[in-house]
Amino acid sequence: MQLYNTLSAKERAELIEKAGKDRLTLSFYQYAKIENPQEFRDHLFLTWNALDVLGRIYVAQEGINGQLSLPADRFNDFKTHLDTIDFLKGIRLNIAVEQDNMSFLKLKVKVRNKIVADGLNDDTFDVTNKGIHVDAEQFNNLIEDEKTVLVDMRNHYESEIGHFKNAVTPDVDTFRESLDIIEDDLKSHKEDKNLVMYCTGGIRCEKASAYFKHKGFKNVYQLEGGIIEYTRQIKEHNLENKFLGKNFVFDERRAEKISDDVIAKCHQCGAPADIHTNCANDACHLLFIQCDTCKEEMNNCCSDNCKEIHALPYEEQKALRKGQGNSNDIFKKGRADHLPYKKDLRNIFEVLKKKEI
């Protein structure tokens, strides 16, 4: 019984190309109590592998978080299977704004402690006691209210290339960091302000909305379906788009274009740019923003040192990496010291003071 992916990304890409079928990229999540995550995980893998589903799916006792692709002609079969699972019946599926047949090249279904790492150890916290969900039109109206504080619940490298107008964008590396920062900086406004949050597809701000309600915030809202669903709704209903730039996504596409605005800059030369690159040096793989000119000049690398190493024969590169592992810069995601135009750090409190709250 095959319970794990057995093909390499290269082999899978060749099969997709040979099949010649259009694939759909989509995502969904649901908080629910899963008694046996491992058993549930194995069931999903066996069923979805047979449907040629590829992607990254996390299962935990608190629920499921899925980002995946599948052949478009198997979508109804996939949806039918979801409907056989009580807590997934009729679930909203966020269809990607931009499609790419190569968005995922492996099926990975993993059991995790939590589907969104939060670092919380509070048995009294109920993740299902969430804030008020608002659609695109309600969201647009709400964020124009002077009593509203709009907060981006994503990490710094996501909001750097795209965010909503006037949103507070915490300079954090993890979701967990933002929880304490926001609570501390808004602690005197738990009753007189609307706390409105958004993220990519809704999963992070759903947990955050429950957390801030748990901490005593009275008026807590979240954008239902996140940026992905917002984009679909503004197109369908011809609403004003209040999102600037690109929506960062965690697959091979790396981003979806929501507006024509380019709000970020190349981390190497400072020119307007919003395309992330993984440094081509296998001992680095730093994620950073790189314009086309620098990409050509630096051969997809983040530094002269990485460029020199990447130019070496493969066996020499492999020998240099032996026993070393990846550079710690991989965790900095655009904040490495050698990048001259990396994003300036901003404190959320300074932004909030400018909003005079």
Active site residues: 199
Residue 191, CA distances (Å) to 57, 71, 144, 278 in order: 37, 48, 18, 43
**Tell me, what amino acid is at 40?**
F
What is the rounded CA–CA span in Å between residue 29 and residue 58?
A: 9
Structure tokens, 46: 């066996």
- DSSP state, 168? B
**Tell me, what amino acid is at 21?**
K
Between the two ends of the chain, the Cα-to-Cα distance in Å is 59
Inter-residue contact 170 to 186 (CB < 8 Å): no
Residue bearing tokens 């899925």? 66
Inter-residue contact 135 to 186 (CB < 8 Å): no
Structure tokens, 222: 């979240």
What is the rounded CA–CA span in Å between residue 26 and residue 68?
A: 6
Q: Is 132 left (phi over 0), alpha (psi -120 to 50) or beta?
A: beta
- Give the residue among 254, 332, 281, 144 at the shortest CA–CA distance from 273: 254
- Give the residue among 247, 236, 243 at the shortest CA–CA distance from 150: 243
**Cβ neighbours around 152 below 10 Å, total:** 24
139 — phi, psi (to 5°)?
-60, -50
Which residues of 127-219 form beta strands (DSSP E)? 132-134, 148-152, 162-164, 194-198
- DSSP state, 343? P
